[in-house]
Amino acid sequence: MVFGIDISSKSSSVCIMVRAKEFDSFTITNDLGGFNVLLDQLQCYANPVVVFEATGVYSLPLQSFLDRHNYNYVRLNPLKAKKLMDNNLRHLKTDKLDAKHLAELQFNSPQQLSPKQDYRYHEMQNASRFYEELTNDLVKWKNRLHRALQSTFPQIERLTSSHSGEVYWQIVNLFPHAKFVLNSAYDQIVAQLNQIKGIGHAKANTLACSLQTIAKRTCYYDDYDSITVELGKYCIERLRGIEQRRKHILEYIKEIAPNPRDVQLYATIPGIADTTALRIYAELGDLRRFNNRNQINAFIGIDPGRSQSGDVDNHLSVTKHGNAIARKILYRTIGQMETVKSSQPCHITDYYDYKKQLSKARGYKKAAIASMHKLIRTIYALIINDQPYDYRKSLHNQS
C-alpha cells in the first residue's frame, strides 16, 4: 500500500496504489484539515508508505504530521525523483499524474524509507542553515564596507592583515575617514585605541603611528561629513551584530546537541576546528542511522551517477542530489586540512596530494571530491567505533 503525494504550495494531490494499481486519488489542502483527511485514509490500511518530494518549506508540514502519527515515508530529492520518473517514461506532467508516478516508483524501484531522528537534529540543521545565511550576509556587508571606505579612507585596509574581526571593525568605527585621524593628536588616538579590548598600550602606539602615516597619504573622494561616513559606520554595526549572532548559533548547537561526543570525535581530525565540527554534526545528524558510508555519500550528493546503454557503461560526475550545505562544508574542510598538513599530518591530505598529482590537467575539484569520499569514510568509522582520529592507525588500515 503506497500513497504518492505531489505537494504544491497550497494543496497536494494524493494517489493511493494497491498492488501497483491505482485505487483512489484526491486533493487535500496543506493544512491541518487537509492532513486529517489524509490521516483518515491512512488509517484504513495496514503499514502504508507515503512517498513525496522534499519540496523545500512546502513539504515540511506534511513530514512533521507523518512523524507525529508515526507513519513511514520516503522523502525523495526532487532531482532524483525527476530522473527516476523520467526513466520510467513519464510523458505527461500534471499534479495528479505526478502523485501517481511517485506511488509507482515505490513498486517499480523501491526506495529506502527515510530515517527518523530526534527532533534536536532537525533543530541543529535549522541552526546551521541560519548560520549559513548569516555567513552570506557577512560577505555582503564586508563588500559594502569596502566600497564605502574606498571613498573615505581606502588606506585603512592596509592597517592589519585581516579586513574583518571585532578589533578591525572597532578601529574603523573610530576612524571611518582619514580626517578623523588627521584632526586628532597622537596621544588622543592612542587613548581611543586603548579602549578596544585586545589592544594593549604597545600595540596602540604602533597602530596610532601607522594610522597617522596612512592618513597623510590618503586621497579621499567624500569628505568627513559625507553620508558615506555614516554608511561605513552602519556597515560596521551590522557586521558586529551578525558576528555576535553567529557565535550565539554555535553555542545553541552545542547546547542542544544530543551526542556531544560526536563533535569531539570530528574535531580530532587534523584541520577540523570546533566550528567546522559543529557544522558537520548539525548537517549530517546521527551517522549511526546509516548502514554504510555509501548511504552518507548519497545523502550528501557525492555518489557517482551512471549512464548505461547497450554495451556502453559510463560513470558520470557526482549526482548533487543530496544535502548541498553539507557538501559545501566538507568541500571547504579539505582545503582547511591542507593548510595544517605540515604540522598535523593526515592520511586524507596525503591522498589529496596524490590525487592532485595524478589529475593536474583535470584541476582541483576532482581531487577534492575524491578526498571527500575518504573523509566521509573516516568520520563514519570514528563515530561507529567511538574512537578519536589516529594518523598511524589510518595508515595501517590503508596498507
In contact, 176 and 152? CB cutoff 8 Å: yes
In contact, 332 and 277? CB cutoff 8 Å: no
Examine the domain organization and report whether 69 and 95 are in the same domain.
yes
Per-residue model confidence as pLDDT tens digits over 306-353: 433 333 334 445 656 678 899 999 999 999 999 999 999 999 999 998
CA distance 232 to 226: 10
Q: Which domain holds residue 248?
A: 122-254
Examine the domain organization and report whether 128 and 249 are in the same domain.
yes
Neighbours of 363 (CB within 10 A): 10
Examine the domain organization and report whether 29 and 81 are in the same domain.
yes
Domain boundary among the residues 206, 226, 254 is at: 254
Examine the domain organization and report whether 294 and 327 are in the same domain.
yes
Over residues 165-170, mean pLDDT: 93
How would residue 123 be classed by pLDDT, with cut points 50, 70 and 90?
Answer: very high
Examine the domain organization and report whether 285 and 385 are in the same domain.
yes
Q: Which pLDDT does position 251 carry in this prediction?
A: 97
Examine the domain organization and report whether 327 and 271 are in the same domain.
yes
- The percentage of the chain sitting over the pLDDT mark of 70, rounded to a whole number, equals 90
Neighbours of 350 (CB within 10 A): 17
Phi and psi based region of residue 20 (left: phi greater than 0; alpha: psi -120 to 50; beta: remaining):
left
Domain boundary among the residues 220, 254, 288 is at: 254
How would residue 114 be classed by pLDDT, with cut points 50, 70 and 90?
Answer: confident
Question: How many domains is the chain built from?
Answer: 3
Examine the domain organization and report whether 270 and 161 are in the same domain.
no
Domain boundary among the residues 114, 139, 165 is at: 114
CA distance 121 to 39: 26
Q: Name, in order, each residue with C-beta under 8 angstroms of 60's C-beta and a sequence gap of 6 or more.
A: none
Examine the domain organization and report whether 108 and 181 are in the same domain.
no
Q: Which pLDDT does position 309 carry in this prediction?
A: 36
CA distance 248 to 323: 24
State phi, psi for 11 to the nearest 5 degrees.
Answer: -145, 170
Q: What's the sign of the alpha-carbon dihedral 93, 95, 101, 102? A: positive
Question: What DSSP assignment string belongs to 212-253?
Answer: HHHHHH---SS-TTSHHHHHHHHHHHHHHHHHHHHHHHHHHH
| Alpha helix positions (H), 257-346 | 260-266, 274-284, 293-300, 324-339
CA distance 163 to 57: 36
In contact, 101 and 90? CB cutoff 8 Å: yes
CA distance 285 to 380: 12
Examine the domain organization and report whether 221 and 266 are in the same domain.
no
Q: Which pTM value belongs to this model? A: 0.80
**17-21, 133-137, 154-158, 355-359: the lowest-pLDDT one:** 355-359
Examine the domain organization and report whether 231 and 264 are in the same domain.
no
Examine the domain organization and report whether 326 and 379 are in the same domain.
yes
**Helices (H), strands (E): how many in the chain?**
17, 7
Q: Which pLDDT does position 93 carry in this prediction?
A: 54
* CATH code: domain of residue 16: 3.30.420.40
> Residue 46 to residues 35, 65, 132, 305, 307: CA-CA distances in angstroms?
18, 18, 41, 35, 37
C-alpha cell at 102: 511517485
Grouping H, G, I as helix, E, B as strand and the rest as coil, residue 396 is helix
State phi, psi for 53 to the nearest 5 degrees.
Answer: -90, 145
In contact, 98 and 27? CB cutoff 8 Å: no
How would residue 85 be classed by pLDDT, with cut points 50, 70 and 90?
Answer: low
Burial class (CB in 10 A: 0-12, 13-18, 19+), 377: middle
Examine the domain organization and report whether 46 and 151 are in the same domain.
no
CA distance 221 to 113: 62
* CATH code: domain of residue 152: 1.10.287.4070
List % helix, strand, coil for the chain (3-state, nearest 5).
60, 10, 25
Over residues 244-273, mean pLDDT: 96
Amino acid at the residue 37? V
Residue 212, pLDDT > 90, answer: yes
